Structure 1
Amino acid sequence: MTTYAALLRGINVGGKKKLPMAELRQLMGGLGYGGVRTHLQSGQAVFTSGHGDEQSLAGELADAIEKRFGFSVDVIVRDHAYLAAVAAACPFPAAGLEAKQLHVTYFSAPVDAARFAEIDREAYLPEEFRLGERELYLYAPDGLGRSKLAEHLAKPRVNKGVIATTRNWNTVLKLVELTAE
């Protein structure tokens, strides 16, 4: 059995796409996932599965949510090893920053630097981002809500063809912890 985190994009935000966590846990248990737990109301679930891969599990969960709740939700599934590697590879001094200043955007597939080449990085300083393979690290000193760089990074042309969902540093670390158990 492998332990995974499911990252659901855009649920329970601003009164839209309401998805009660108790119902999500029940749905996931019905799919045969074990040890289902949720974290916060914003779309994180941890579970175990002995079948499938990250992509097929994400598709299965997204389909089940749409059938049960009547709306589509983008889902990314990642295993503990990946989540731990992302946390360990953080290019910013995470220990010295507030959680609201550091974020990770998880992508559904690998992304290359060419996708971000048109961004004038100097124009957004002191905000910065660094690209991994299937993740992007964002340093936003005034928080995500005030970040002009985050706003630019969220544009459809930048994320074309991939699902992208962002979590603050506390959630990044909590998902590593929860998937380690």
Structure 2
Amino acid sequence: MSHPLSVALLRGINVGGKNILPMKSLAELFRQSGAEDIKTYIQSGNVVFRAAHPDKVAAKVRAQIGEQFSLKVPVVIRSAAEITTTITTNPYLQSGIDPSWLHVMFLAGVPSAGQIAKLDPTRSAPDEFALIGRDLYLHLPNGAAKTRLTATWFDSTLKTTGTQRNWRTVLTLSDMMAV
């Protein structure tokens, strides 16, 4: 019986010519760590794969990236079902907002109520965010490059690690995971 599909979302690789990690090498690290049916999408660290224990595969890959490439790269895992929930739960889709302004930051952990209370919704107006579970939905009408709603700010405030994807990438990953 084959294992369910998962996606590994790596943060901060191949961005702006920094933290270079070829996708072929990354796919091989996943294979060596026990993953099967490995597919990568674009150069920014999206890996769809099958494994009995996706979190264990991610931990091995993270360690190997550190050893072989001297990079400390956070890896966030989501199942196919979780990606589907991310898509159906997006509060900005019901608002009729232009999808090119939408992003999702996938968080490694669920922040506490106290940490969530520290978020400032006016930090980067007119940009908006909505936190639902481990998914942080972003509406960025001024563009991702100009927002003050950064991964660093959210990580620091929420005491977890996140990695952001634009809405088109989220939909493509979902399509890649469709059985």
TM-score w.r.t. length of structure 1: 0.87
Percent identity between the two aligned chains? 33
Alignment of 1:5-20 (within 5 A): 5-20=7-22
1:157 aligns to 2:156 (yes or no): yes
Structure 2: distance between partners of 1:139 and 1:178: 24
Structure 2 residue aligned with 1:168, among 157, 166, 174? 166
Alignment of 1:25-174 (within 5 A): 25-49=27-51, 51-52=52-53, 54-93=54-93, 96-122=96-122, 124-148=124-148, 150-151=149-150, 154-155=152-153, 156-160=155-159, 162-174=160-172
Q: What RMSD, in angstroms, separates the aligned Cα atoms of the two structures?
A: 2.0
Query: What stretches of structure 2 of length at least 5 have no aligned partner?
Result: none
Q: What is the identity, as a one-letter code, of the residue corresponding to 1:177?
A: D
Contact 1:57/1:77 (<8 A) preserved? no
Instruction: Kindly state the Cα deviation for residue 22 of structure 1 after the two structures are TM-superposed.
Output: 1.1
Would you tell me which structure has more helix in proportion to its own residues? Answer: 1
Q: CA 1:123/1:66 → structure 2, altered by over 3 Å: closer, same or farther?
A: closer
Instruction: Kindly state the Cα deviation for residue 122 of structure 1 after the two structures are TM-superposed.
Output: 4.0
Q: CA 1:94/1:37 → structure 2, altered by over 3 Å: closer, same or farther?
A: farther
Structure 2: distance between partners of 1:90 and 1:44: 20
Structure 2: distance between partners of 1:94 and 1:6: 27
Instruction: Kindly state the Cα deviation for residue 41 of structure 1 after the two structures are TM-superposed.
Output: 0.4
Q: Which has the higher mean CA deviation after the structures are superposed, 98-107 or 132-141?
A: 98-107
Q: What is the identity, as a one-letter code, of the residue corresponding to 1:17?
A: N
Q: What is the identity, as a one-letter code, of the residue corresponding to 1:165?
A: T
Structure 2: distance between partners of 1:36 and 1:131: 30
Q: Which has the higher mean CA deviation after the structures are superposed, 6-15 or 89-98?
A: 89-98
- Quote the residue 1:180 is aligned against: 178
Contact 1:112/1:133 (<8 A) preserved? no
